[in-house]
Structure 1
Amino acid sequence: MRKLVHASVAAALTFALTPLYGQDDAPSAAEVDTETDAAAEPAPRRRLSRSVEEIVVTAQKREENLSDVPISVQAFSADALDARGVKSTLDLMKVTPGLDFGVQAGDFASVFLRGIGSEAWLTSDPSVASYVDGVYYSFTPSLIQDLGGVERVEVLKGPQGTLFGRNAIAGAINVITKEPDFDDRSITVDNFSGSYSSRNDLSINKTTIFANMPVTDNFAMNVSAFYEYDAQQWSEDASIAGGPVPAKTTFSGRFKFRWIPTDNLEMRATIFGSKREGTSTLAANINPTPLGQVLGIDGVKERARSPQTDLDMYGHLSSLVGSVTAIYNAEPFDTKLILSKQLHSNPYNYDYDGSEQTFAEFIVHRHYAKINEAEIQFLSNETSWGSDWLTWTAGAFFFQNDQGFDPVELTVGGLDPQNLGAQTFLGLVEIPDIVVAGTDLVLPAIPLVDDLTAGFPSYALSNTGLVETESVSVFLQTTFKITDWFSLTLGGRYQDEFRGVLDSRTAIRVGVPGEIGFRTEVLDWQQARDARGGTALGIPTDNFRPDSDSTRAFTPKISLDFRPFDDDTLIFLSAQEAVKAHSFNAFAFYLPPAYVPEETIQAVELGIKGSLFEGSMRYTAAIFHYEIENLQTQFISLLNGGALSLDVAGDARSIGFDFDVIVDLFPSMFDGLSLTVNGAFLDAEYTEYTNGDGQDPTTGIFLDNLNDYTGNRVTRTPDFSGSVSLANVWLIPGGTFEASTNVYHNSGFFYVASEDPRYEQPAYTTVNAQLSHYWERYRLRTTLSAENLTDEFYTTGTLILDPGMLATLGPPRILGLKFQWTF
């Protein structure tokens, strides 16, 4: 009778748990019966947390477990990204300490990592290299990527000058999308609808569709499509050209093909296209200078998300990227070849002053990049000579790019002098005549007082500024297993990069409103100048230089890896160098193209990673010291070239400590309770930055050779940034229920090297929360989310201009509902 009762109870439990686990995964009666053989080992718990998992990464160009890679890497699977509410690369900073992923002037990204980055994002390259499926992206407006259909994202911290090479002096962001599968035919639809707290209408809708389609047993394809409608974060009384702010729309699609014709050959092909339309260039002038105040800008109103500008703004970012990858696995090594071609276009306009007055505006008729890449890798495998003690990776990389503006037009003038009231600007009667160096051209002075009786001059300058780049590099990295617990890694990369001015010309139209005026091409530059030499009033002869140059450099690496204990603890000590090539700014209206020399970094890092408490806690920690020479930066001012000016921010250093801990809390009591704690403490400062350019502390107007910034903090670098995430998953009839929260804190930073408090991002904290239900039988997940729950006001990027600080604002509170269905 007792056995019969136990059997009946076991059968009843099996029936009850079938909807919970699915028919195939439901426990059998024997598994439920607690009276079975006591000597049998207990079945492992079913881990439910989507944040605690072992991840395979390619941080060293080969697949390895994250815990075995002697590099500071944070990696996130698609599930972990979804659990933490990360939807795009912009959100990565909320889960990656020490990372600042900003955006300004619409779609231009500026990425800093561990205190290293670059303000020179307009015509130069970022200091954190971005890769998607092995393809290097250098066009900054295209770095912001939706993360639908990804397999994982890896954030590599510190210089990656050997394997990732070109310009990876601060680190790399490596996005890997899902490969086509030969067995699973499925479609996943992910739809998010949300509303900003600053608007009353439904203002956001995002839809992602991912489909995997096996064709034969060795050929498959997948498709990922993304659509976004965003009525934007501005309040309902914000306006452009007197009308409402239109919605921003984005569409992208990725087609991937995978073919394995033989056992040792695999072919992949990818076509990716995206299009973004809208007014992403709209910004809020939250700290107007005296000039901005003369123009009627009210920073308080701007902080209320109510900018009102005179320009009918637009932005039309589009990208088309094609790539082919071939992988040949054979004796005595594997070979991988990646070929790609990229076409990016970003026409837009920008209200320079951000006011309702017609003062200055940029109209970019054509901003493009044409990029060709090729990389070949040779990787040792198990059949390679000495494979039991030697691992190596070698290869070569080719990069060619034509990029710039063709043309961009700047219009200055049209101010009604009566709007100046009784005050004068800067105490001056006028901004002096601008004498164009090397020519007889004089741009007429701009009167700035209310007793003007003549007409007010209007300038229209048209500039073509194009830069060409061709880079070739070779690399080799070898790891010697000296003992079972000690390994030595040696690596190096040689880079030869040519970069020069392809075209730099300016045409001018000057007139008085209501009159015809004149227009003519006046400048065709055939030489460049040192960025630190020359102003609008003239350039010393010895500061002129050729309009092309080459950066040739060898950057070595050495790393020691230790496994001193009888567990998975890994200690690594590395020293390496990396280089970011020289750059030219061909985008200037009345100055020759500016040249800045190559930027270099020497880095030392000591790190540890491992697990504790039978694997329920995983940790990574590192301390590091960076020395940077010739830090590249930029400014934008009408008074220094009419637009963009490059500068060299001297030398800098960054010393810091960062950590990441993931804990599976109380595993004997909970199946899905996890805690993530991470943080980065940074001490990054300019060690030599004399005669620095910048904004006058009284007027806000740009001046060159303004001050000594030595000892000041590096821009966009907080003393501390980090996050805490807590999530729990409960088994419920039919599936699971998940609750999670993520708190991110940033201690604040300056946008300018002068540490001017007007251009500071104060400390801020954001709180995100999610409630999610997964119905396992139908593979349907429903998520209720709240982003920036406390409605914190903060900026994600700025342009510091003569009229003030034009900021891209972080989103306000967003409440949303998401459905994710796989069938």
Structure 2
Amino acid sequence: MNESMLRRLGWAVLVNSALMGQAAAQGDSDLDAILGPSESPTESTPPASAPATAEAAPAPAASEPAPAATAPQAAAAEPAAGEAAAPEAAASGPRTVKNRLTEEIVVTAEKREENLQEVPTSVSAFSGAALDAKGVADIKDLQLITPGLQYDSMASYSIIFIRGIGGDAFQAGVDSSVATYIDGLYLPFTFSAAQALGDVKQIEVLKGPQGSLYGRNAIAGAITIKLKEPTKDFAASVLAQYGNYNDAKTKISVSGPVPFTDQSLLYSASFVYQNRDSYTTNFFDPNEPDYHSYRNRGYRGALQWDPIDDMQFGVAFYDLKSQDPDSVATNLLTVAPLFKAVLTPNTEKNKSGNVSSIGVFARTRIFSAYAENKMSDYFDAKLIYGKTAANSTILFDYDSAPEPVLDISAVPNRANSESFELIFTSSAEATPDWLEYVGGFYYESTKKTGRYPATIDPLAYGLNIAGSAVLGSPPVLCQIYANIGGDCSANADTNKNILVNVPIYGGVANKAKSFYGQLTFHITEKFSVVAGGRASREDTKLLFAGVGVKLVIPQLGGGVLTTPQLNAIQYAPQQKTFQSFTPTVGLNYKLTDDILLYYKYSEAFKSGNYNGLNINNPPTRVEPELASSNELGFKSSLLEDRSLKLNGAAFLTTISNAQLQTLSLTSGGVTKLQNAGSYSVYGAEGEVNWFVTDALVLGLTGVYLKGTYNNFTGQGFNDLYLNQNNIDFSGKTTVRTPKFTGTASANYTFPFFFGLDAELAGDVYYTSGFYYTANNSLEQPSYYLLNARFGVYDPRSRVRVTLYGKNLNDDTYYTNAYRQDFGDTVIWANPRTYGVTVSWEYGN
């Protein structure tokens, strides 16, 4: 099959996939979503081995692989796509297989390209091939391979912590404490960010405050995701994955030059579809034990234009949809004393008593464009523009129990943002050898709104509580009421009572402007100094906030009558301007050519906000969150051939005016943000990657953390689960701060039968546990996860088949937990999963 035919096949497959996706959208009222698995395996090649010498090229850094084979070696080792290996190659001696983890990594943590081991800050970086080799198919899997990272989701909101610093709020107007970038574009939304990975080129996780270069809301760190660019030659890939829970995932992508453009205009397009059963089933309703399926669908298209050398333009569009019941399938683990006779707790793993309609239905659309100019003799410049629209509808059982006492939905949450960033970096040709710099200007305008209808049966609710309190359980008052034709169960299907629907709504807008810059002075060949900062101004406005009310009245002949909504309370808009300057200072010393020592002081700023979802209290302002951090670290390449990469850091981060969430109706709203006085987290981390041979890579990571609230008197729950003010949390351990977290991994590639290559990999992740609440009353116990993969790759056809298993020990843990009015609520994490992935690639 020649290249022309392959191009036609690629276009046909793409069009057919789009039509299939459209049909799925029309047939499914509920859903779809995003870029799919990041499983784009690279061809393993058998480079010739050479003895190590002092002049040999450096071995790879941790997560940063050994140098690729030279061009002659590669030509000799790699047959053309689709061709059989030459007989001479087979007869030349024992065949070796190069590990995919040895692919070289160049990072842009300081917004310019640098070797991972030369960057004076703590960064974990992974290529697309490395992510695939490590079994990372979703961005949330990053926490299993990244020291100090926690990545969970709740009701489509991403909950991200790095080194015990982060934010656990899940409401429309709240920003994340970790800045997330896709292809250089900042995503200002916490919801819809936890999507499956697409055709990923590289992911970097930057740890510690990144206020100078990565700006607003990077007090814990930043995550940058780079997707694959269009290619100058035609390329295509297909991936299919099948697993338990009827998991089926397909990804198709094509890339190449637009015809008749002489390779100056390039395109790429990809389509992803995934569907599986929910990990959770309904234990309370045997007639409807299944929740909605988990479903993703999305597509991405990109164009790149190179009109002349050193100038490039590009545009991309993403349309990502998702449907997820698992992130809202809650369980009432412990019932508050007042409701023990009313609500049913559940401690059985992956079971829930929520109504069958629960789920999250989200969509994110992103348009981005950039222009890059390297023609100037003095600097390189890049302009990035982005426009993002996201919405999510959340059907949520607030009380988390089978009894439908209180349901709260978000119908819908909406967020729109427009931004541009202009970046200047020093040019090597015109800048003195002793100086490097980067700087720029950033502007963003964002609007976020949310509407949360709360539905309650006041009669059944009151009778349950009154009957339990006065006459004991079962509530005799409910039995009497049922005997005269009433309904004390508040069952949504048989309810005969009048329901009260209370929509709570609010909206926040933000305009952010900032100038930033960073200079690196090379004082000597071994010693350098870094100085930088960011000046920011943010205008934050509470656009509207209020509470409505309407009645839902069952009719004798069936159906219901809904009264018009009455806007019972309307709060006045508010506005506040926040300004900040966040500096960065660093000292770097090359002890030897293979050992870098560094010290870094950095600050970051998280925007102030408003509590826009209020029932009985006027909206209150939330002050900006400030972070300051000291980090002392080293990066080293040890052994004679520099194959042992040992990196480590010790750090202390202090947060002032920390923004913490309380989930309680009696707090004045559905959820409420409050400022903690301050807290500190100190700790140390280490990462070892040993490239034993070109085929065997061993890894070991460990992070120790100690977090304490220094001065925090605020709102929370007492022992009776009643929300109250002026609780002193000082001296308590900070939330989501495990004392120890670590991962041990091994990846081995070797020749298999019939000219095939094999890859055997496994890892063990362990955490000592942590607290979810500031008063340390709700705890995640320690747990470990065992993951393994075995794959076979045909270098001639470039087909890879991989068997995988995650959480093979089937340990029990939570993706989220919180305390609310009715008790302690948890969401169970994924059980044991396993399956097979088949992929094929053509071209580069």
Please tell me the TM-score bracket, short chain as reference.
0.7 to 0.9
Choose which of 304, 326, 329 in structure 1 pairs with 2:374.
329
SS at 2:796 equivalent? helix
| Alignment gaps of 5+ in structure 1 | 1-15, 35-44, 196-201, 431-446, 528-546
Contact 1:749–1:762 (CA under 8 A) maintained in structure 2: yes
Kindly tell me: are residues 787 and 407 of structure 1, through their superposed partners in 2, closer, same or farther at Cα, counting changes over 3 Å?
closer
Choose which of 614, 622, 637 in structure 2 pairs with 1:596.
622
Contact 1:472–1:496 (CA under 8 A) maintained in structure 2: yes
Aligned-residue offset at 1:646 = 1.1
Q: Which moved more, 1:400-409 or 1:68-77?
A: 400-409
Match of 2:717 in 1: 695
Aligned-residue offset at 1:518 = 8.3
Any idea what the Cα deviations from partners look like across 1:74-123, whole Å, max 9, x if unmatched? 0011111111111111111111121111212x211111111111123422
Match of 2:291 in 1: 245
Question: Which AA in structure 2 matches 1:505?
Answer: G
Kindly tell me: are residues 47 and 311 of structure 1, through their superposed partners in 2, closer, same or farther at Cα, counting changes over 3 Å?
closer
Choose which of 442, 454, 458 in structure 2 pairs with 1:413.
458
CA distance in 1, matches of 2:505, 2:284: 33
Match of 2:603 in 1: 577
Choose which of 719, 738, 763 in structure 1 pairs with 2:739.
719
Match of 1:403 in 2: 448
Matched, 1:149 2:199: yes
Any idea what the Cα deviations from partners look like across 1:603-632, whole Å, max 9, x if unmatched? 111111121121211121100111111000
Aligned-residue offset at 1:51 = 2.2
Aligned-residue offset at 1:519 = 5.0
Contact 1:322–1:342 (CA under 8 A) maintained in structure 2: yes
Any idea what the Cα deviations from partners look like across 1:552-608, whole Å, max 9, x if unmatched? 01111111111121x231111111211111111211223222211111111111111
Match of 2:37 in 1: none
CA distance in 2, matches of 1:231, 1:414: 36
Match of 2:787 in 1: 768
Matched, 1:797 2:816: yes
Aligned-residue offset at 1:175 = 0.4
Match of 1:180 in 2: 230
Question: Which AA in structure 1 matches 2:446?
Answer: N
Q: Which moved more, 1:65-74 or 1:206-215?
A: 206-215
Kindly tell me: are residues 407 and 684 of structure 1, through their superposed partners in 2, closer, same or farther at Cα, counting changes over 3 Å?
closer
Q: Which moved more, 1:510-519 or 1:592-601?
A: 510-519
Aligned-residue offset at 1:55 = 0.4
Contact 2:680–2:708 (CA under 8 A) maintained in structure 1: yes
Kindly tell me: are residues 366 and 480 of structure 1, through their superposed partners in 2, closer, same or farther at Cα, counting changes over 3 Å?
same
Aligned-residue offset at 1:257 = 1.2
Aligned-residue offset at 1:205 = 1.3
SS at 1:90 equivalent? helix
Q: TM-score, normalised by structure 2?
A: 0.83
Contact 2:445–2:511 (CA under 8 A) maintained in structure 1: yes
Matched, 1:476 2:517: yes
Aligned-residue offset at 1:409 = 4.2
Mapping of residues 78-477 of structure 1, within 5 Å: 78-104=128-154, 106-122=155-171, 123-183=173-233, 185-195=234-244, 202-215=245-258, 216-235=262-281, 237=283, 242=288, 244-280=290-326, 281-291=328-338, 293-300=340-347, 303-310=348-355, 312-330=357-375, 331-386=377-432, 388-406=433-451, 408-411=453-456, 413=458, 415=460, 419=464, 423-424=468-469, 458-477=499-518
CA distance in 2, matches of 1:753, 1:555: 28
Q: Which moved more, 1:505-514 or 1:161-170?
A: 505-514
Contact 1:159–1:576 (CA under 8 A) maintained in structure 2: yes
Matched, 1:749 2:799: no
Kindly tell me: are residues 242 and 575 of structure 1, through their superposed partners in 2, closer, same or farther at Cα, counting changes over 3 Å?
same
Kindly tell me: are residues 617 and 506 of structure 1, through their superposed partners in 2, closer, same or farther at Cα, counting changes over 3 Å?
same
SS at 2:160 equivalent? strand
Aligned-residue offset at 1:473 = 0.3
SS at 2:132 equivalent? helix
Question: Which AA in structure 1 matches 2:614?
Answer: A
Mapping of residues 518-533 of structure 1, within 5 Å: 519-526=565-572
CA distance in 2, matches of 1:175, 1:17: 31
Match of 1:12 in 2: none
SS at 1:415 equivalent? helix
Kindly tell me: are residues 17 and 755 of structure 1, through their superposed partners in 2, closer, same or farther at Cα, counting changes over 3 Å?
closer
Any idea what the Cα deviations from partners look like across 1:315-352, whole Å, max 9, x if unmatched? 22001000001100022111100000000010121111
Aligned-residue offset at 1:138 = 2.0
Question: Which AA in structure 1 matches 2:630?
Answer: V
CA distance in 2, matches of 1:350, 1:99: 27
Matched, 1:65 2:88: no
Kindly tell me: are residues 95 and 132 of structure 1, through their superposed partners in 2, closer, same or farther at Cα, counting changes over 3 Å?
same
Choose which of 522, 542, 564 in structure 2 pairs with 1:501.
542
CA distance in 1, matches of 2:594, 2:135: 30
Mapping of residues 40-59 of structure 1, within 5 Å: 48-59=98-109
Choose which of 692, 701, 705 in structure 2 pairs with 1:682.
705
CA distance in 2, matches of 1:376, 1:238: 55
Identity across the alignment (%): 31
SS at 2:103 equivalent? coil
Contact 1:237–1:244 (CA under 8 A) maintained in structure 2: no
Aligned-residue offset at 1:308 = 2.2
Contact 2:786–2:809 (CA under 8 A) maintained in structure 1: yes
CA distance in 1, matches of 2:545, 2:470: 32
CA distance in 2, matches of 1:340, 1:516: 42
Kindly tell me: are residues 484 and 278 of structure 1, through their superposed partners in 2, closer, same or farther at Cα, counting changes over 3 Å?
closer
Kindly tell me: are residues 236 and 599 of structure 1, through their superposed partners in 2, closer, same or farther at Cα, counting changes over 3 Å?
closer
Matched, 1:486 2:561: no
Matched, 1:605 2:636: no
Matched, 1:77 2:127: yes
Matched, 1:822 2:841: yes
CA distance in 2, matches of 1:550, 1:672: 56
Contact 2:152–2:159 (CA under 8 A) maintained in structure 1: yes
Aligned-residue offset at 1:294 = 3.1
CA distance in 1, matches of 2:553, 2:83: 80
Any idea what the Cα deviations from partners look like across 1:413-470, whole Å, max 9, x if unmatched? 352666559632999xx9xxxxxxxxxxxxxxxx999998999874321122000000
Kindly tell me: are residues 777 and 66 of structure 1, through their superposed partners in 2, closer, same or farther at Cα, counting changes over 3 Å?
same
Aligned-residue offset at 1:286 = 2.5
Matched, 1:645 2:678: no
Contact 1:785–1:817 (CA under 8 A) maintained in structure 2: yes
Contact 2:700–2:744 (CA under 8 A) maintained in structure 1: yes
SS at 2:269 equivalent? strand
Contact 1:238–1:245 (CA under 8 A) maintained in structure 2: no
CA distance in 1, matches of 2:675, 2:361: 31
Match of 2:73 in 1: none
CA distance in 1, matches of 2:113, 2:212: 17
Kindly tell me: are residues 24 and 266 of structure 1, through their superposed partners in 2, closer, same or farther at Cα, counting changes over 3 Å?
farther
SS at 1:815 equivalent? strand
Mapping of residues 496-575 of structure 1, within 5 Å: 496-509=537-550, 519-526=565-572, 547-565=574-592, 567-575=593-601
Matched, 1:632 2:655: no
Output the aligned Cα RMSD.
3.0
CA distance in 1, matches of 2:124, 2:99: 17
Aligned-residue offset at 1:642 = 3.6
Aligned-residue offset at 1:291 = 4.8
Match of 2:44 in 1: none
CA distance in 2, matches of 1:414, 1:189: 57
Aligned-residue offset at 1:806 = 2.7
CA distance in 1, matches of 2:470, 2:256: 65
CA distance in 2, matches of 1:167, 1:682: 22
Aligned-residue offset at 1:411 = 3.6
CA distance in 2, matches of 1:426, 1:766: 47
User: In the comparison of the two structures, how many residue pairs are matched?
Assistant: 741
Contact 2:453–2:501 (CA under 8 A) maintained in structure 1: no
| Alignment gaps of 5+ in structure 2 | 1-75, 489-496, 556-560
Contact 2:330–2:827 (CA under 8 A) maintained in structure 1: yes
